[in-house]
Structure 1
Amino acid sequence: MDIYELDRRKKVILDFMNDPVYRPMKLKEIAACLNIEKPKKAQLFEVLDELVALKKIKLMPNGRYKLAGKTDTCVNEKEKVYNSANYKAGEEYSGIYTVSRNGFAFVSVDQKQDVFISGKNQNTALNGDKVIVRIIDSGRKKGSEQKAEGSVIKVTEHVNKHILGLYKKNKKFGFVVPDDKRILKDIYVPAEKSKDALDNTKVLVRIDDYGSGLRQNPEGTVEEILGDLKEPGVDILSIIKVFGFPEDFEKRVKAAANRVALRDISKEIDKRIDLRDVYTVTIDKEDAKDLDDAVSLEFDDGIWKLGVHIADVSHYVKEGGLLDKEACERGTSVYFPDRVIPMFPAQLSNGCCSLNANEDKLTLSCIMDIDSSGKVISHKICETVIRVKKRLSYNYVFELLENQDKDMINSNTQDLDVCTEIIEDTEFRKLIYNMHDLALLLRKKRFERGSIDFDLPESSIILNTDGSVKKIQAYNRTVANIIIEEFMLAANETVAQEYFWLELPFIYRVHDTPDMEKMRELSAFINNFGFSVITSKNEMHPKEIQKLLNKIYGTEAEAVISRMVLSSMKQARYQVLPGKHFGLAAQYYTHFTSPIRRYPDLQIHRIIKENIKKGISDKRRTHYMNILDYVASHSSAMERRANDAERDAVKYKMCEYMQTRIGCVFDGIISGMTKHGMYVALENTIEGFISMADIGDDYYFFDSINYETVGQRSNKIFRLGDSIKIVVAGADKMTRVIDFIPYGKKKKRRK
């Protein structure tokens, strides 16, 4: 083989051995893992021999290969404690059986190093199962640094009850190839259990028998046929099934929603503060149907009176009822490119609870008096009735503010309920202009205390009528979005402060301070771009992050550093104990403004209304203390699940879109680097990967200290934030991976 091919193969071997799960292997084991056929083993030996000569790897006395230079002095303190020396052959441990993306299997044992599991020792375990593992090789032989190896002797809990995959039909039986590539075994399906599924259809199979290790695969029954992948909506339906979302509501839940939606509210209106004469509007996306917030604004004698009016869902959904239990279980609405899985049936979410224009609606309002500095000087939280005058879109409001002196607005919306024509009404124009001024004032006040604003582009996926992707672009966040964001933030923070001082049971939205180790890593990373943040031993103030974001604004490094900063943050969550919100630099914060699509908002509405009407008795206080912990933790978990599913659907659609653009050329920027290659982000928000072997006619390596990819001979350097022209080389919808190659290069053929 020529020198370039030899270099490429050496890189493949080194990347393989650098995997955290790799254990020293013999030549035949390496060949098996890399799918190298028997006639080419001689070439593999040549590559290994070359790496040994270069002292990149070592050939151990037992015939196994390992990376050179991995000694005890190189591992950190945590690794010294949790190493294979803690294991002895014959010992048994409980743990979680996990399969990595490259097919390695291991068992995670609490407070110990992972135990490697070879193919013949996996028993009936599938990814995620709880198992008992017996140590068969402690990895403590003299001169050995291999991981402990074990054998799964028992599966104590199978977590994969159902598997989604592609049905393959034979004459007398069929089998399901799992979508999840970490499920290493196909599911055998007898003909009588196939539900007459056709070849190459997407199915959901229930596992009836997990098999007996090597002797047979799991056996199952086809429970549902989702359809051919080419059929509209089957792709997203598959994701819905994988994440366990319900497709629809049960009949009894729909019936309950129908009864509630027909409820007469005329008597309830008489009990509330009547704000129907106040000029109130909704501002949302053109296609939004679950309108849970409306706003009003008046200005008098230097004081702004901002009204944030939220749909009073709790009037219709009583605690402990069918609708409440269903909403609590769902936790949140989930938004996919082609559909929404709502928290409530449409009769509520789009009907009686939605703040549709020109209808009397029950609301819970937070009315705030704000001075010229942007400070909330007084407020009132009360039960109200409103009548929205105009249903506006973000695009409409943006164009109105951008073209204040023009007579017409160019709106592309097709929704007749959304205001699309210029309104000559002076009161209306003044309202929108005043909202803009107040939003900027609140934003300035928030930034002064150190609040962080990540302006990372979101993906907007536009579909054809058949469900295929027509276009993917960055969603344009405008000043109209900022108006609503600032008003909702002000209301959420005001409500949280009041109920903190009332010392009542409540649900807060908490965002913890980042780990200092993460901040030190961030500091080292941004230093490569000439930026810095001030860190102390125990604390990082959000204002330092804000200063950094201001410095990088408009630079080539903005997107890369913003992503790194965001990944360094902890995830916000719900909890009953009050805590700071680091990202907003807020002492107290909650979610009050979206009870149609978030369950915690509905729960605190109940507490607020009960307190307004008659106060919270000791008995009710105990009741709330008993249930709120579960509501907070469950809602946090459901939010994470929804976010994961939404991201997965976006990645799938991106792969689908790029499959039709193989060979097309795009401009992008290098957005990430690993030892395996580089990530490149395109202007339309799609991100792909360039393998090290495909970068060019040189041996490239990743310099983790300087965050650079460097050519060994040419010394050519690729840096994060660099512009690069790429060609789409491939896209795999199953793995959600998009492959790029640099423009002008050819993709190397690899096994």
Structure 2
Amino acid sequence: MSARSELLKKLRENVHRPLTKKEIFEKFEISQEQEKIFSDLLNDLIESGKIFKNSKGLYGVPEKFNLIGGRIEKIASGNAFLIPDDPAKEDIYISSANINGAMHNDKVFVRPVPSDRGKSQAGEVAEIIERVNTEIVGNLEKYKNYGFLIPDNKRICSDIFIPPEALNEAQNGQKVVAEITRWPAKNRNPEGEITEILGDKDDAGVDIEAIIRQLNLPGEFPDKVLKEIANIPDQINEKSVTEDDEREDLRELKLVTIDGADAKDLDDAVSLEKLSENNYRLGVHIADVSHYVTEASPLDQEAYARATSIYLVDRVIPMLPQKLSNGLCSLNPQVDRLTMSVFIEYNLIGQDEIEIIDHKITKSVINSNHRLTYDQVQNILESKESAERKEYSDFVEELEMMNELRRRLRKNRFEEGSMDFNFTEVKVELDDSGNPINLKKRSHREAEQLIEEFMIAANRIVAAEMAWREMPFIYRVHEEPDLDRMKQFNEFIHNFDYRLKGIKNGVHPRALQAILEDVRGSKEEKIIETVMLRSLKKAVYSEKNIGHFGLGISHYSHFTSPIRRYPDLIAHRIIKETITAGYLSEERQDELENQIPKIADHCSLQERRAMDAERDSVDLKKIEFMEDQIGEEFEGIISGITGFGMFVELENTVEGLVHIKNLRDDYYHYDEEKYHLIGERTKKIYRIGDQVRIKIAKVNRDERKLDFELLEKID
């Protein structure tokens, strides 16, 4: 057990009051020579929220002080939830009155308070451990000699006051970056100083640049990283490959990469061999990024800081420099590449059943036969006469076998309890100037499912292997939902005559999957899927293996995308060390036990920020796409009902609001229990799923909102 784990264990089990640092040294028999190391450990545990130090200088685990550590997730109303560091704990509701100056994503300690509004757990922020939002991006509203920055991130609910001396020549209506100089407190806005002017808010390119700046990431890699990259050879050293006895030579194995047409960072390749009548061996081959990104190097430190590649609507902000992400690590066809391979042997039983016979994880070197797109694979699977089928005739048999394996894996996964949401994704097509010219729906067909199932299969094997070996590891976990949220969800779907089974003692993912299957194709499908998703917890990274609720899987990790996700890179390092020696030394295990909780928390935070940025960039271009269509008429479906109006989603997935004050044929009232609007005189009812015809009335790019005018209900 590491010193970190041992200290926390003893503080929880053997200490019944807060201690001074001197008392901790005495109790744990820390020598004078070790005091500096132990002090650094205590400070690290305080910064990570594992230990609390009160105003009197006394130390203890948070629960002894009746505190829970985690990160703040604000919602548009100004209220918030605490997402606990321990994924097994329930989220805690925090009213705006109890937020006490904390901002979105800040790391805090929360003290439970009497619940209100029917919440099972409520709390107030007792202490802020780490401030995340040191810089804020938004529009400047300038008054006589001062201003307010209106944040682009709507989860930062307070405007930033800019005093006269901090305006730095910024003008009204400009998009600016401000550094926080005074944090918010009760009844007091945060204050800031403008450090950069991005341009007029309506200038071309400023909107996306603002989203990038919200992430507080540099656009370019530091010189020390570029210097390290320059020393990496452009080609694989054949001698080092042949001399590596632990690396399996798979260059004669038939395999293929399958990805989107625009993808350049190809993490994975797949192979499938028929061993006998019913036995098949799946190979999932993942870029061996850890071979090039060595621990604690400048390149590794930069990859950790970024934690993930970010895919905005018009560009990619990569985790790794292009020489690696699009070059030496990308599994391009007809070139040798270093990989980590997971082989899984399956027995196909009867028409639908499948079982795992054996598995192996190994270092390898491959040479991919082809680089195929999802569209090409789909055409091969769908049409015997397709041009792609002729062009890639050497791989058609393998693709057809892969499709059958996909079908069985997918069927088996959903029978075990995986949930299958059916949200429509949209690709925004841009012209050369970055203007949106089309919104194209993305489908999730057999080709996409094939890679999805194979990656899930590999991630499961890796996580189960490391859990069995009892090695420190970084897992991808998804905790069971809070029972109260499930009860609220069940009450919501009662309005549509659906029932959630087995809710008294907790909910199994199969019960939620049953609802998803029941609503498929119905008018209320999207709203029920959306509310269900919001009722679930978010998947995170953790050193604790508590399983993945949404996938219905007891062991799960992220292993298959090390080019673009730092947790996958960490997983590779640990696996390589383990399979090379068969075990990890006690010293290395202690080191990893100390590192992984911090890495997991940081990567979870960066993932959330990246997802927000990606979503914001798409939403922004969708709104911009509609600006030229003011006055145009469209058909849509009512996707949400509130007390102030109804949301309507168009065929192109753009959503807008018909405000209740603009329903002029009657006075309409919101029925909270039935989730519909009803006319006072006409008794006309608008429900979720109803088809309507609307006209685009107003487009507000700053607020990213559309206002619709209702023309008629389509019966």
Task: Identify the TM-score tier after normalising by the shorter chain.
Answer: 0.7 to 0.9
Change (3 A) 1:163 1:191: closer
Q: Which of 315, 325, 337 is the aligned partner of 1:361?
A: 337
Residue 586 of structure 2 corresponds to which residue in structure 1?
A: 618
Change (3 A) 1:159 1:450: closer
Q: CA deviation at 1:287?
A: 0.9
Change (3 A) 1:434 1:111: closer
Change (3 A) 1:173 1:467: farther
One-letter amino acid matched to 2:505: N
Residue 204 of structure 1 corresponds to which residue in structure 2?
A: 177
Does the residue aligned with 1:536 lie in a helix, a strand or coil?
A: coil
Q: Which of 357, 360, 367 is the aligned partner of 1:387?
A: 367
Is the 2:102–2:184 contact (alpha carbons within 8 Å) kept by the matching residues of 1? no
Residue 266 of structure 2 corresponds to which residue in structure 1?
A: 291
Count of aligned pairs: 599
Q: Which of 268, 272, 297 is the aligned partner of 2:240?
A: 268
Q: CA deviation at 1:99?
A: 11
Q: CA deviation at 1:223?
A: 3.0
Q: How does 1:288-367 map to 2 (within 5 A)?
A: 288-301=263-276, 302-367=278-343
Is the 1:282–1:294 contact (alpha carbons within 8 Å) kept by the matching residues of 2? yes
Alignment of 1:477 onto 2:444: yes
Is the 1:129–1:157 contact (alpha carbons within 8 Å) kept by the matching residues of 2? no
Change (3 A) 1:345 1:430: same
Q: Give deviations 1:463-518, integer Å, cap 9, x for gaps.
A: 11111111123212221100000100111111111111111111111111112222
Q: Give deviations 1:620-643, integer Å, cap 9, x for gaps.
A: 111111111111111111111111
Q: How does 1:568-579 map to 2 (within 5 A)?
A: 568-579=535-546
Q: CA deviation at 1:528?
A: 2.0
* Separation (CA, whole Å) in 1 of partners of 2:187 and 2:452: 57
Q: How does 1:554-703 map to 2 (within 5 A)?
A: 554-614=521-581, 615-703=583-671
Residue 117 of structure 2 corresponds to which residue in structure 1?
A: none
Residue 224 of structure 1 corresponds to which residue in structure 2?
A: 196
Residue 47 of structure 1 corresponds to which residue in structure 2?
A: none
Residue 7 of structure 1 corresponds to which residue in structure 2?
A: none
Does the residue aligned with 2:305 lie in a helix, a strand or coil?
A: helix
* Separation (CA, whole Å) in 2 of partners of 1:205 and 1:352: 39
* Separation (CA, whole Å) in 1 of partners of 2:540 and 2:213: 25
One-letter amino acid matched to 1:675: G
Does the residue aligned with 2:251 lie in a helix, a strand or coil?
A: coil
Is the 1:233–1:338 contact (alpha carbons within 8 Å) kept by the matching residues of 2? no
Q: CA deviation at 1:237?
A: 0.7
Change (3 A) 1:463 1:726: same
* Separation (CA, whole Å) in 2 of partners of 1:468 and 1:360: 39
Q: Give deviations 1:348-384, integer Å, cap 9, x for gaps.
A: 1111111111110000000110110322210100000
Residue 432 of structure 1 corresponds to which residue in structure 2?
A: 399
Change (3 A) 1:210 1:671: closer
Residue 480 of structure 2 corresponds to which residue in structure 1?
A: 513
Is the 1:189–1:219 contact (alpha carbons within 8 Å) kept by the matching residues of 2? no
Residue 240 of structure 1 corresponds to which residue in structure 2?
A: 212
Q: How does 1:1-400 map to 2 (within 5 A)?
A: 115=97, 161-166=134-139, 177-180=149-152, 182-184=157-159, 187-188=162-163, 193-194=168-169, 200-206=173-179, 220=193, 222-262=194-234, 264-270=236-242, 271=244, 272-301=247-276, 302-372=278-348, 373-400=353-380
Is the 1:179–1:734 contact (alpha carbons within 8 Å) kept by the matching residues of 2? no
Q: Which of 700, 708, 712 is the aligned partner of 2:676?
A: 708
Q: Which of 513, 535, 539 is the aligned partner of 2:506?
A: 539
Is the 1:239–1:649 contact (alpha carbons within 8 Å) kept by the matching residues of 2? yes
Q: CA deviation at 1:233?
A: 2.4
Q: CA deviation at 1:245?
A: 2.7
Does the residue aligned with 2:629 lie in a helix, a strand or coil?
A: coil
Does the residue aligned with 1:505 lie in a helix, a strand or coil?
A: coil
Residue 700 of structure 2 corresponds to which residue in structure 1?
A: 732
* Separation (CA, whole Å) in 2 of partners of 1:564 and 1:607: 38
Alignment of 1:743 onto 2:715: no
Q: Give deviations 1:661-685, integer Å, cap 9, x for gaps.
A: 1111121111112212212122212
Larger Rg computed on CA atoms: 1
Change (3 A) 1:451 1:363: same
Runs of 5+ consecutive residues of structure 2 not aligned to the other structure: 1-70, 81-91, 107-127
Is the 2:158–2:189 contact (alpha carbons within 8 Å) kept by the matching residues of 1? no
Is the 1:311–1:362 contact (alpha carbons within 8 Å) kept by the matching residues of 2? yes
* Separation (CA, whole Å) in 2 of partners of 1:103 and 1:587: 36
* Separation (CA, whole Å) in 1 of partners of 2:188 and 2:521: 60
Is the 2:147–2:167 contact (alpha carbons within 8 Å) kept by the matching residues of 1? no
Q: CA deviation at 1:211?
A: 13
* Separation (CA, whole Å) in 2 of partners of 1:485 and 1:293: 11
* Separation (CA, whole Å) in 2 of partners of 1:159 and 1:635: 14
Q: CA deviation at 1:175?
A: 5.2
State, as a whole percentage, how many aligned pairs show the same letter.
41
Change (3 A) 1:369 1:103: closer
One-letter amino acid matched to 1:618: E
Q: CA deviation at 1:230?
A: 4.5
* Separation (CA, whole Å) in 2 of partners of 1:129 and 1:667: 38
Residue 455 of structure 1 corresponds to which residue in structure 2?
A: 422
* Separation (CA, whole Å) in 2 of partners of 1:158 and 1:257: 32
- Bigger shift: 222-231 or 718-727? 222-231
Change (3 A) 1:114 1:632: closer
One-letter amino acid matched to 1:705: E
Residue 45 of structure 1 corresponds to which residue in structure 2?
A: none
* Separation (CA, whole Å) in 2 of partners of 1:199 and 1:682: 34
Q: Give deviations 1:547-599, integer Å, cap 9, x for gaps.
A: 22222222222222222222221111111111121111111111110001111
Residue 72 of structure 1 corresponds to which residue in structure 2?
A: none
Change (3 A) 1:601 1:157: closer
